[in-house]
């Protein structure tokens, strides 16, 4: 494990949230947000309202900018998110999880908690000099972002099947080349 478990989970969740905004919107309605909430193991306050959905959707472009920013810009974004959210780190334990850090209470709005968890995880990346872990999918037709948590920094493709698509294209290209020779 490169980072603390909660940091890695928060990074993966932040990338997944950013990627819901690419192409066809992955968070078109409240049920889609409910599914995202469950998939990424969120707990705490969840209102199932259009207001909550709008707040979460509005967070996506702000988080996406982190993937395109240099270190100083990332720091400005992270500090801004933490300041706006009145973040106050506290060690907490709930459900079956070991002690981990929450910087806003569990009854804070979902979008606020998503913003703060992402910001805290990005703060870890900055402190460890690991912002290069924030990468873009290598598939030419894909705009998705990813977090490379592999030990040898070998991750190239996002979770949307781009690795398979690239392998199939390479296979077809080899077959085409072979049939022409």
Q: Please give the residue ranges that form the binding site for Zn ion (CB under 5 A).
A: 137, 139, 142, 144, 158, 160, 162
Closest contact distance (angstroms) between CB of 163 and Zn ion is: 8
- Least separation, in Å, of the C-beta of 84 and Zn ion? 20
* CB-nearer residue toward Zn ion: 65 or 100: 100
Q: What is the smallest separation between the CB atom of 13 and Zn ion, expressed in angstroms? A: 12
Dist. CA 146–CA 12, nearest whole Å: 8
CB of 57 or CB of 139, closer to Zn ion: 139
Q: Which helix (H) or strand (E) holds 91?
A: strand 90-92
Q: How far is the CB of 157 from Zn ion (least distance, A)?
A: 5
User: Closest separation between CB of residue 176 and Zn ion, Å?
Assistant: 23
Question: Do the beta carbons of residue 45 and residue 109 sit within 8 Å?
Answer: yes
Q: Are 164 and 139 in contact (CB under 8 A)?
A: no
Nearer of residues 29 and 141 to Zn ion, judged by Cβ: 141
Element (H, E) at 82: helix 71-84
* Closer of 53 and 137 to Zn ion (Cβ): 137
12's enclosing H/E stretch is helix 5-19
DSSP code string of 19-80: HTTSSS-S--SHHHHHHHHHHTT--S----SHHHHHHHHHHHHHHHHHTT--HHHHHHHHHH
Residue 85 or 144 with smaller CB distance to Zn ion: 144
């Amino acid at each position: 494990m490169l980072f603390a478990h909660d940091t890695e989970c928060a990074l993966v969740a932040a990338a997944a949230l950013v990627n819901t905004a690419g192409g066809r919107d992955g968070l078109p309605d409240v049920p889609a947000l409910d599914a995202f909430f469950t998939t990424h193991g969120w707990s705490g306050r969840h209102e199932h309202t259009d207001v909550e959905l709008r707040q979460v959707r509005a967070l996506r472009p702000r988080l996406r900018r982190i993937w395109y920013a240099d270190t100083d810009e990332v720091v400005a974004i992270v500090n801004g998110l933490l300041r706006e959210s009145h973040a106050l780190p506290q060690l907490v334990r709930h459900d079956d999880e070991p002690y981990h850090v929450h910087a806003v209470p569990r009854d804070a709005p979902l979008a606020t908690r998503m913003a703060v968890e992402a910001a805290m995880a990005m703060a870890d990346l900055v402190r460890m000099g690991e912002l290069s872990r924030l990468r873009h999918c290598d598939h030419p037709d894909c705009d998705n972002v990813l977090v490379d948590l592999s030990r040898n920094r070998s991750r190239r493709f996002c979770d949307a099947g781009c690795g398979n698509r690239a392998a199939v294209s390479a296979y077809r290209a080899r077959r085409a080349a072979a049939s022409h020779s």
